[in-house]
Each structure stands twice: as C-alpha cells, then as structure tokens.
Amino acid sequence: MRTASRFLIVLIFLGVVLGGIFGYKFYQFGQMKEQFSQPQPPAKISATMASTEMWTPEIKAVGSVEAINGIEVANEVSGVVETIAFESGDTVKKGDILIRLDAAIDEAALRTRRAEAQLAEQEFKRVSDLLPKRAVSQSQYDEAKANFDAARARVNEAEAQLSKKIIRAPFDGKLGLRLVDQGEYIGTGTPIVEINMLDAIYVDYTLSEKDLPMVQQGYDVVATVAAIPDSHFAGQVSAINTSVNPQTRTVRIRATLGNEDNQLRPGMFATVATRQPQDREVVTVPRTAVSYNTYGDFVFVVEENDDGELVVNRRTIQTGNTRDSRVAVLDGLKEGEQVVSKGLLRLRAGQRVEVQEDEQPAEASK
C-alpha cells in the first residue's frame, strides 16, 4: 500500500507539472495568435512622383577607338642603321626623316649609273648630229637612243634604291616607342616605330539591325572611355557599313571624334551614345525606384485601397535609357503617379505604407 501511495503521489505531481507546462504554452500560443491577428503597422517609405522630361533619344553601344591612319613603319630594304633622327613619343610631319641606313654601296652604284648615262647621252648626241648628213644609218640612231633611254632608267632605278635607305614619316602623327638601335642590322620589313594620326580619331562600334533606321550619317555621338571617365568626346557619325553581319545581325558604324589633346589612343574600349536630332518627352523615375530582374523590371506604385489607406502595388514597366541617375520609363507608368524611391526589398504587394519622405521630381532637362 505504501508503494502504491507513493506511485500515486508521483503521478499527481507529474500531472500538475505537465499540466502547468502545457497550460503556459497554450497561453503563449493564444497571445501570439492574438498578436498576429492585429494589423501590421504601415511601413515608412520614401516616395517620389514620376515626372516628364525632355530627353534627346540616344542609342548606346560599345566600340573601339581606331586611328584614322596608324601603322608600324618598316624598311623596304635591309641595311645597317646609320642615323636615328627621332625620339620615342615625338610628333612628326609627313616626310620627316626617321632613320637613315648605311648607303655607301648604293651611292657608289648611283655614281656609276650616272657616268654610264652621261656617256650614252654623248653618244646619242653625236649620232643625232650625223643622222641628217646620212653619215649613220637609222638603225644606229635608234640603237643610240635606246642605250641613252636605258641608261637614264638605270639612273632612276639607282636613285629609287638609294632613297629607300632613308625612312620617312608617311603622314602627320605621333610616334610610339623606338624599336631599333643605331648600328643595328635590320632585315627587310623590320618594325622601326609605330605612328598614329590622333587628331581626329575614329571610334568603331556595332548596332543591332533593328536600330539601323534610327542612325544616319552626320548624327551626333558622344563617347567615353574608362581611362578618362569624366571626359566626354563629341563627334559625328561619318560612315555606316553597307551590309549587316549575317552571323550577329549587327551593322558596323564609324564615328569621327575630336582629339586635340591626344587623350584618346587607338585600341581603347569606348562607350558610344548615338543621339538623334529631335528631343522628345519621356516619363522618368529615379534609378533607385526600379527593381531589375530577369522576369521584368518593376516599381512599387503608391495607391489608396478601398478603406482609403495607402498601399503599394507592384507594377511591371518597360525601361529605356538611364541619364543622370534617372531612368526613362517607356511603358507601364504615367506622369504624376507616386512610386517608392528607396527600400524596395522590404516591401510586398498590398502592404500598407506611410510616406515618410516625399522627394521632389527632377526638373525637365535635355
């Protein structure tokens, strides 16, 4: 009996303890359910109005800077470098001497050819004087004339060969690094120095075939490069390729840019904006108001529900160009509609909000 009494006391004690625990948990659950059933306080947001601005339509693309004329100067004949008449980085004019090769043998050959030509000229003059007197035959006259003409041609050939020992700048431009040394033997076609015409300069880029009707020769372009991000280089479309690449369905465009300070160099990666001549009105919002993803860009529009409360609704939009931290909205939003400008990640469709900061829309600009 004593054991059964103890067992009963233990069971009663355990029942009281477990009942207390379950009762406390049931009370907590009820409190949580009551708390969740209470409406959530409105989220505090910053909002702004979609505004209309005057923008110049433009098509952006990427391309590469190219020199109008740019080559590696090389020699046509082999020889030993006798004189170097430039320094790396010099600015030169067309015809300026860059290097001279040893030309002693060619100069001697030219003197020989000139002596032969002088002798042939004297012989031709004697035969010419004797022909009217019929002291020589017509064939002798023709032979003397042919010998004289051949001798003059050999002189011209020797002079041309000698001139190839002097390498000159083929056009106005800026030189790169010198690639040969004085006294060095260089074979035919050895690179001597790079020369590029830098002002003006080309930028070549490609556009999709669907953008081709919106680009014409003479349209303004503005280019930027990563090396000088704060500088904008203005120019014009100078040529449009006559065919579309069948593999990529793109067309190659060439624009000519001013480069007076020689800041642009061939080979630079450039971002190019091709601008159309007419301005147009576009609806714009701050870039921070747009959420970009693979399923479509969207904004949260601030609207009133049936109870007169402010809520946010997600709306898909079609975006265009970005300029000065504002995005053009091509479709899905109207001027004057209020959108959330910051903190999109913590919002959901239908959530109540309270506008804490009402940002002013940007003034109309071009």
Spell out the SS3 assignment of 308-351: CCEEEEEEEEEEEEEECCEEEEEECCCCCCEEECCCHHHCCCCC
- From 29-43, 44-58, 238-252, 273-287, the region with the lowest mean pLDDT: 29-43
Tokens (6 digits) for 301: 């529009």
Tokens (6 digits) for 197: 């015409």
Q: Write the single-letter amino acid at 101.
A: L
For residues 146 and 148, what is the distance between their CA atoms, to the nearest angstrom?
5
- Are the beta carbons of 206 and 105 closer than 8 angstroms? no
Provide the pLDDT for residue 239.
94
Q: Which neighbouring-strand residues pair with 292?
A: none
**pLDDT tens, 28-57?**
766 666 555 555 677 788 888 888 888 878
Provide the pLDDT for residue 361.
62
Q: Which residues, including other chains, have CB under 8 Å from residue 251's CB and lie 6 or more apart?
A: 206, 207, 209, 212, 240, 241, 243, 244, 245
In which band, very low, low, confident or very high, does the pLDDT at 2 lie, cut at 50, 70 and 90? low
**pLDDT tens, 104-161?**
998 999 999 999 999 988 988 988 888 787 777 888 888 888 988 999 999 999 999 9
Q: Taken in order 81, 84, 88, 89, is the CA torsion positive or negative? A: negative
In which band, very low, low, confident or very high, does the pLDDT at 246 lie, cut at 50, 70 and 90? very high
Angle at 356 between CA 352 and CA 362, to 5 degrees: 110
| pTM of the full structure | 0.65
For residues 292 and 299, what is the distance between their CA atoms, to the nearest angstrom?
9
Provide the pLDDT for residue 39.
58
Provide the pLDDT for residue 365.
47
HSE of 42 in the Cβ direction (CA atoms, 13 Å)? 14
- For a pLDDT cut of 70, what percent of the chain falls above it? 92
Say how many residues make up the chain: 366
Helix (H, G, I), strand (E, B) or coil at 297: strand
The angle, 0 to 180 degrees and rounded to 10, between the axes of the packed helices 104-130 and 138-163 is 160
Comparing C-alpha atoms, which of 97, 102, 105, 96 is closest to residue 82? 102
For residues 320 and 273, what is the distance between their CA atoms, to the nearest angstrom?
13
Helix (H, G, I), strand (E, B) or coil at 239: strand
